[in-house]
Structure 1
Amino acid sequence: MALASAEYPFLDLMGTMLVFFCWIAWFWLLFVAFGDLYRRTDVSGWAKAGWTVLVIVLPIIGVLLYLGTQGRHLVERQRAREVAARHQFDDYVRSVSTSDKTSAAQIAEARRLLEDGIIDDAEYRVLKQKALAR
């Protein structure tokens, strides 16, 4: 029985790991380039098609060319998308959380108005019924 190290030397193993790492890095660069390209609104459809064809026909050169020529503002575009998404989420949360008072808060406010003498008992009952009807 032969040892595994004799059949597959250490340098071959390191070479295989390097090739695998470069393969994974290539796909990562491909996703970054295509993700940025297709999210851009300042690039026409024909330009997007041209970049896609270039990356498919000349893969390594195409991705490196895209990152070299168009990647200068890649981080700013990504940051702007993140800020816009955060603002959209914050606006949504504000619209949902402050849309109306809860029924309990409305009843408590009506009770305070009753105790302060601002409204009478009949008006309190009407406000309470409206709050509970929701």
Structure 2
Amino acid sequence: MDDYPLLDLFWTMLWFFLWIMWLFLLFKIVTDIFRDHEMSGWGKAGWLIFCILLPFLGVLVYVIARGKGMTQRDLKQAKESEAAFQEYVRKAAGTSAGGRTGSADELARLAELKDKGAITEEEFLRAKAKVLS
């Protein structure tokens, strides 16, 4: 252990961390290249070749030239994923995008109206039978 001082260990860990960060950035850029529907096939091929042949320079140039677009595509992807998730939850919960509620929600609303005195017990029972049928 005396052959490898603490400072050398620190520098090794720092360079390893930076290398891993660069790999993450490279993978992010490759996925962004394929996600961009506005870029032509030749443009995608050119950026990929640039990032593979001159990896450090290619990644830096891509981030400088197209970094703002990367952010916009990420936000668009996140919004689309959130909308798809919300739609799935609505379908799974028995509600639709048009604002119609399921029978459990309707019964809860009716019970609340009855508790407030807005409807009578008879009106509540008729509405309940209508919802459950």
Shorter chain as normaliser: what TM range?
0.5 to 0.7
2:13 to 17, 23, 31: 17
Computing the radius of gyration from Cα coordinates, the structure with the larger value is 1
Structure 1 unaligned regions, length at least 5: 106-111, 117-127
Which is bigger in relative contact order (C-alpha 8 A, separation at least 6)? 1
2:32 to 29, 36, 42: 36
1:63 to 34, 38, 59: 59
2:74 aligned residue: 78
For 1:35-63, what per-residue CA distance to the aligned partner results, in whole angstroms no more than 9, with x for missing partners?
21111111122211111111110000000
1:124 aligned residue: none
Report the Cα distance in structure 2 between the residues aligned to 1:98 and 1:10, rounded to whole angstroms: 61
Q: Return the letter of the residue paired with 1:46.
A: W
Aligned alpha-carbon RMSD (Å): 3.1
Residues 98, 14 of structure 1: alpha-carbon distance in 2 compared, 3 angstrom cutoff: closer
1:87 aligned residue: 83
For 1:65-84, what per-residue CA distance to the aligned partner results, in whole angstroms no more than 9, with x for missing partners?
11110112222221111111
Sequence identity, in percent? 38
Q: TM-score under structure 1 normalisation?
A: 0.67
The runs of 4+ residues in structure 1 deviating greater than 4 Å are 99-102
Report the Cα distance in structure 2 between the residues aligned to 1:101 and 1:21, rounded to whole angstroms: 51
Q: How many residues align?
A: 112
Report the Cα distance in structure 2 between the residues aligned to 1:87 and 1:18, rounded to whole angstroms: 40
Q: Return the letter of the residue paired with 2:31.
A: G
2:58 pairs with 1:53: no
Report the Cα distance in structure 2 between the residues aligned to 1:95 and 1:18, rounded to whole angstroms: 48
